Each structure stands twice: as structure tokens, then as C-alpha cells.
Amino acid sequence: RGLTDYGRLQAQALARFFASRKVDVIVHSGLVRTEATALAIRGARDVPIVRDERWREACHGAWEGLTYREVVRRYPEDAARRFADPVNHAPLHGESLAHMAERVHQAWDDLGAQFAGRRVVVVTHGGPIQAVLCTLMGAPLAEHWRWRIDLGSLTAVDCYPTATILRMINYLPPVVPSAYRFPARP
């Protein structure tokens, strides 16, 4: 699925944020909307864009697209196991948070190896960002929910050989709402 009208405005807001900043490479998770956001951030610059599916959100399998109530109604036993151990229990045909974090950590390590000393933008999703933040802050993955990551937000870290500094978490660049028409209420 592509970006919504509001999602396009958020991508434009991110593009404005990065327009005056040095960017050496942009990595995205391989979904249509992350690629569209990566292209918006790149703009007219000659910056490589790399697709890396390891940056995708955890797969929710049979739960994909369902609300919390629908999951509990359709898969009560599976939901009870998942909610008792959200890190290690995967939804039916899905992926555990531990597995998602493992592939994201490998992608993170590879960024450091491939692009050391370069300014990298990763266009990804809330779960992968939360997993990286847990690692950087020495927090258990079970505490991932403590970092709110909104759609269209920016989290920035400075990586040095001996330390990582969190520059910002969940910053929402201002959108230009005049171009957006809010849907009519039913």
C-alpha cells in the first residue's frame, strides 16, 4: 500500500527537514511507502537509495490488519500466549519481537560496516526503531513500548567508535496542512 494523502505531507515534511542537511545514503525497508518517503527525502540530490527488507516491521501473520479486539476474539489462546510473552511468542504465522530485533540488529551492524563515517537515513517503522533504541540504551526488548514512535517521525543518533548519542527521538517535522483535506465525518 502506498502513502495516504497525509502520509505524502509527512514525507514532504521530512524532505524539508533533510533538504539543508548532508545525507550520504538512504536505506528503506522495501515497502512502497518507505520507498516513496526515501525518494522524497532524496529530492533532486544524487544520493544512493538502498532497499533492505531487514528494516521491516515485525510480521503479524494472521493478525495483520486486525484490531486488538478482533485478535482476541479470533485467536484467544494465541493472543493470551503473545500478551504473556510479547518478546518471544509470535502471532500465528508471524514473527516474534525477538526475531524482528535480531534481524534489525544485523541490519544495524551492517550499516556501521558498510557506511562508517557517512550520514545515513533509514526509512523504517516503529518496531525496528524501538529495538535499536533498546539496544543503544541497554534496555530489555520487553521495554520497547516505552519509546513512542509516530508515523512520519524522526529519530536521530550520532554514532562514534566508542559511543552513541541520541540526538532526538520521535520528532515530528511540521506538515503543511493547507494542502490536506480532512475526510468528512460519516
Asked if residue 7 lies in contact with residue 33, where contact means CB atoms within 8 angstroms, the answer is yes
Quick: pLDDT tens for 90-141. 999 999 999 999 999 999 999 999 999 999 999 999 999 999 999 999 999 9
DSSP letter (8 states) at residue 159: E
Can you tell me the distance from the alpha carbon of 103 to that of 53, in angstroms, rounded to the nearest whole number?
A: 9
Question: Does the global pTM surpass 0.75?
Answer: yes
Q: How confident is the model at residue 1 (pLDDT cuts 50, 70, 90)?
A: confident
Closest C-alpha to 17, from 153, 112, 125: 153
Can you tell me the distance from the alpha carbon of 140 to that of 69, in angstroms, rounded to the nearest whole number?
A: 27
Quick: pLDDT tens for 104-115. 999 999 999 999
Using alpha carbons, list the distances in angstroms from residue 73 to 31, 78, 87, 90.
29, 10, 21, 17
User: Is pLDDT above 70 for 61?
Assistant: yes
